[in-house]
A and B are shown apart, each in its own frame.
Chain A
C-alpha cells in the first residue's frame, strides 16, 4: 500500500508544487502507515533527487531508459503506471499543473483508479477516502468519495503548507521502455523568461478596465516586480487585446489561489470573482466605492489607480531593499 508522488521538474529542478505533493502524500502516509515514494522522470542528478527527501519521501525512484526531455502525456503516464505497478502503489499524487492534468487521467485508466483533479485540501480518511475539490470554476467546493482501490489525485498548487520533514531516503532507479513509440514530436518551446508563471505565483497583481489602456500596464508590472508577483488581468482586458488570454483569470480563464491577489481597476463581476475567490488575502483598489469587489476583499482602497499605484510601488520597493 505505497503512495507514489510524481515529482514534476522544470529546467532540471523540482517545482515547489512537487514538494507540496510530497507533503500531501506524507500526511496520508502518517495516517495510514504507507511509505511515500517520489518518482522523477529523467532526473539523475543526485543532489536534485535528494531534495525530495527533505519533505518526507521515504524512497526516491528515478526512471530512465527513454527520453523525457519533451513532454508526451502518453509516455509519461505509461512510465508512472509502470513505476506504480512495480512498487504496488495504490495511491498516486500529481500536481494539478498543465502537465499533471494531462497525465492524471491517463494514469487513472492505466491503474483502473478513481480520479480526482483540482483537489484543494488534505483528504478525510475517517470514512473511506474523501477529497475536497474546486467546482463551478471557483464558485464552490465538493467533497468527493473515491470509490476504488486505486486512486489518482491531482493537487492544486498552493493548497497546503510545504513543511520540511527530513528522511534518510533510499534511492533507486528503474528502466522504462514505452510499449508504444511516441507519435508526438515537440518542435519548439517559447517560455516567457524572467516572469513568474501565473498558475504557480504566490502573489498576483491584476489589472482591469480601470487602467484605461494597455499603455498603462507598466505600473502593474512595476508593482508585480517589486512584490515578486505574477501579473494577471480581467476578461474585458484580454478580450480587447490589451493583454494575452493566458493572463485572464476568471471563470472562463484561469482559476488561481495565490496567497495575495491585488485587483486594480476591476469591478468584481461574478465570473471574475469565481477565478480568484480562493486567494488567501484579496485587495481591491477601485475608484468606485460601490464596486462589488469590495464585498469579496479583505483590504480595499477607494481611489484612483493612477494616484494609488505609484505610492504602492514606492512602498513595495523600499521594503524590498530593506529585506
Chain B
C-alpha cells in the first residue's frame, strides 16, 4: 500500500496573531512553526496502516526552504521519504493544483490530509485534490482501517458520526480521535537525517484568490460583572437587554 500524506506548516497554537505592512501580511517575526496538528494525525495513522503490510508513506509539502525542519520532523516520526514543492503556498487551490500535478501518475492508494490547516482554515485541499485526481473523498474522518483494498471509515457529521466503506484509491482528511500523534524517538531522529527529501519546482499554477487585507476581531468593551449572589440577574440581562436567549 502506497500512502501519501499532504502536510502544511503552521504557526504554533500559542502564537499571538499580528499583521504588518498596513495589515496586508501576517507578521512572522518570532513565530514558531509546527506541523499542522491535523496533518500530524494523518501522518501517524498512515504509518499505523502502512507498517504491518510493508507499505510506504511519503510526505509532500508545498512551501519554501524554511519548512524543512518540520519536514525532517515528519521523517523522524516515520515517513520513508519526503518531497517539497518549492513554492509559497498562496491559497488552497494553488497548493492542491501543485499536489495533483505531482501526485497524478505516482499510483498512491490512499492520500491523507488534515481536516484543515489551523492558519488558513480552508479545509479544502483534500476535496480539491480528490476532484482533480477524480477520486472519492471523505472528510473529517475519526477512524480508518484498510482490508483487501477496502477502507472502513468513520467521519464526523453535524450532530453525530457516520460509518462507511470505500474502495481505494481514496482521499481522506483527518480529524481528532483518529489516533494519538506519534512522538519521534532518538532512532527516528537519527534516521531522518539520511532519508530522502526531494525538492521539485512548481509546475501547475492555479491560485484564484488574493489575500488583500487582514483584521483582528474587535476588542471587547470591557466586562460587566454580576454579583454571584444575584446570578439570576444574568439570565434577565441576557433575555431582556442582550436579547440572546
Residue positions of A touching B, CB distance < 8 A? 10, 70-74, 77, 97-99, 101-106, 108-110, 113-118, 130, 133-148, 180, 182-192, 195-197, 199-200, 202-203, 227-228, 245-246, 248, 251-253, 255, 259-260, 270-271, 277-278, 280-284, 294-304, 307-308, 311-312, 314-316, 319
B134 touches A251 (CB 8 A): no
Complex contact A109–B131 (CB within 8 A): yes
B211-A278 in contact (CB<8A)? no
Q: Does the CB pair A115–B92 fall under 8 Å?
A: yes
Chain A residues within an 8 Å CB radius of B161? 189-190
Indicate if the CB atoms of B128 and A296 lie closer than 8 Å.
Answer: no
Kindly provide the distance from the CB of B104 to the nearest chain A CB, expressed in whole angstroms: 13
B138 touches A145 (CB 8 A): no
Restricting to B228-245, which residues have a CB under 8 Å from any CB of A?
A: 228, 231-232, 234-239, 242, 244-245
Distance, CA A99 to CA B158, complexed state (A): 8
List, in ascending order, chain A residues with CB within 8 A of B13's CB. 251-252, 270-271
| Cα of A147 to Cα of B134 in the assembled complex, Å | 24
Sampled A-B contacts (14; CB under 8 Å): A72-B136, A73-B139, A117-B123, A134-B121, A139-B17, A180-B134, A186-B163, A192-B159, A246-B156, A282-B220, A283-B234, A283-B238, A300-B224, A303-B231
Chain A facing B: main interface SS: mixed
CA distance A143 to B234 in the complex (A): 36
C-beta contact mask, B108-143 vs A, less than 8 Å → 1, else 0? 000000000011111111111011101011111010
**Complex CA distance for A199 and B214, rounded to whole angstroms:** 25
**Other-chain residue from B19, B162, B245 in contact with A188 (beta carbon distance below 8 A):** B162
Closest 6 CB pairs of A and B: A303-B228, A105-B127, A197-B159, A315-B232, A191-B160, A109-B131
* CB within 8 Å for A252 and B176 given contacts A183-B167, A307-B228: yes
Say whether B126 contacts A105, CB under 8 Å.
yes
> Interface residues of B toward A: which range?
35 or more
CA distance A71 to B14 in the complex (A): 36
Residue B21, interface by CB 8 Å:
no
Are A190 and B162 interface neighbours, CB within 8 A? yes
| Other A-B pairs beyond A105-B96, A138-B217, A295-B223, 14, CB < 8 Å | A98-B139, A105-B92, A114-B208, A140-B216, A184-B136, A184-B165, A192-B160, A227-B245, A278-B217, A280-B244, A281-B242, A298-B224, A299-B234, A319-B239
Asked if A300 meets B225 with Cβ closer than 8 Å, knowing A99-B158, A117-B122, A185-B165, the reply is: yes
Judge whether B136 and A74 touch: CB under 8 Å.
yes
A245 CB to nearest B CB, Å: 4
Cross-interface CB contact of B231 among A135, A148, A301, cutoff 8 Å: A301
Residues B166 and A184 in contact, CB atoms below 8 Å apart: yes
For the residues of B in contact with A, the DSSP-based class is mixed
Docked-complex contact B225 and A102, CB < 8 angstroms: no
Query: How far does the alpha carbon of A307 sit from the alpha carbon of B227 in the complex, in Å?
Result: 12
**Separation of A143 and B118 alpha carbons in the complex (Å):** 18
Among B16, B93, B140, the most chain A Cβ lie within 10 Å of the Cβ of: B93
Contact of A74 among B130, B208, B224 (CB under 8 A): B130
Check A141–B214 contact: CB distance below 8 A. Answer: yes
- With both chains docked as a complex, state the minimum distance between the C-beta of B159 and any C-beta of chain A, in angstroms: 4
- Known contacts A71-B162, A189-B160; A135/B214 CB under 8 A: yes
B124 touches A115 (CB 8 A): yes
Q: Which residues from B are CB-within-8-Å of A113? A: 208
B106 at the interface (CB under 8 A from A): no
B226 at the interface (CB under 8 A from A): yes
Given contacts A147-B210, A319-B239, contact A186 B164 (CB under 8 A): yes
- Given A108-B128, A147-B210, A281-B244; A10-B235 close (CB under 8 Å): no
**How long is the Cα–Cα vector from A108 to B207 in the complex, in angstroms?**
12
B244 x A182 contact (CB < 8 A): no
> Within 8 Å CB of B167, what residues of A?
183
Nearest CB to that of A230 among chain B residues?
B159
Complex Cα gap A197–B157 (Å): 9
Selected from B138, B160, B162, B214, the residue in CB contact (under 8 A) with A140 is B214
Residue pair B162, A106 in contact (C-beta under 8 Å): no
Interchain nearest-CB distance for A124 vs B (Å)? 10
A188 near B163 with CB under 8 A, answer: yes
Interface residues of B in 171-211 (CB under 8 A from A): 176-177, 208-211
* Residue B66, interface by CB 8 Å: no
Closest-CB distance, A1 to chain B (whole angstroms): 18
Contacts of B232 in A (CB 8 A): 311-312, 314-315
- Report the separation of the CA atoms of residues A77 and B131 in the bound assembly, to the nearest whole angstrom: 9
Q: How far is the CB of A109 from chain B (nearest CB, A)?
A: 4
What CA separation (Å) do A246 and B160 show in the bound complex?
A: 9
| B105 sits at the interface (CB 8 A) | no
Supposing A98-B157, A106-B128, A301-B226 touch, asked if A255 and B137 sit within 8 A by C-beta, the answer is no
Is B166's CB under 8 angstroms from A183's CB? yes
CA of A143 to CA of B19, assembled, Å? 13
Contact B217 A141 (CB under 8 A): yes
Interface flags, B1-23, vs A, CB<8A=1, else 0: 00000000001011011010000
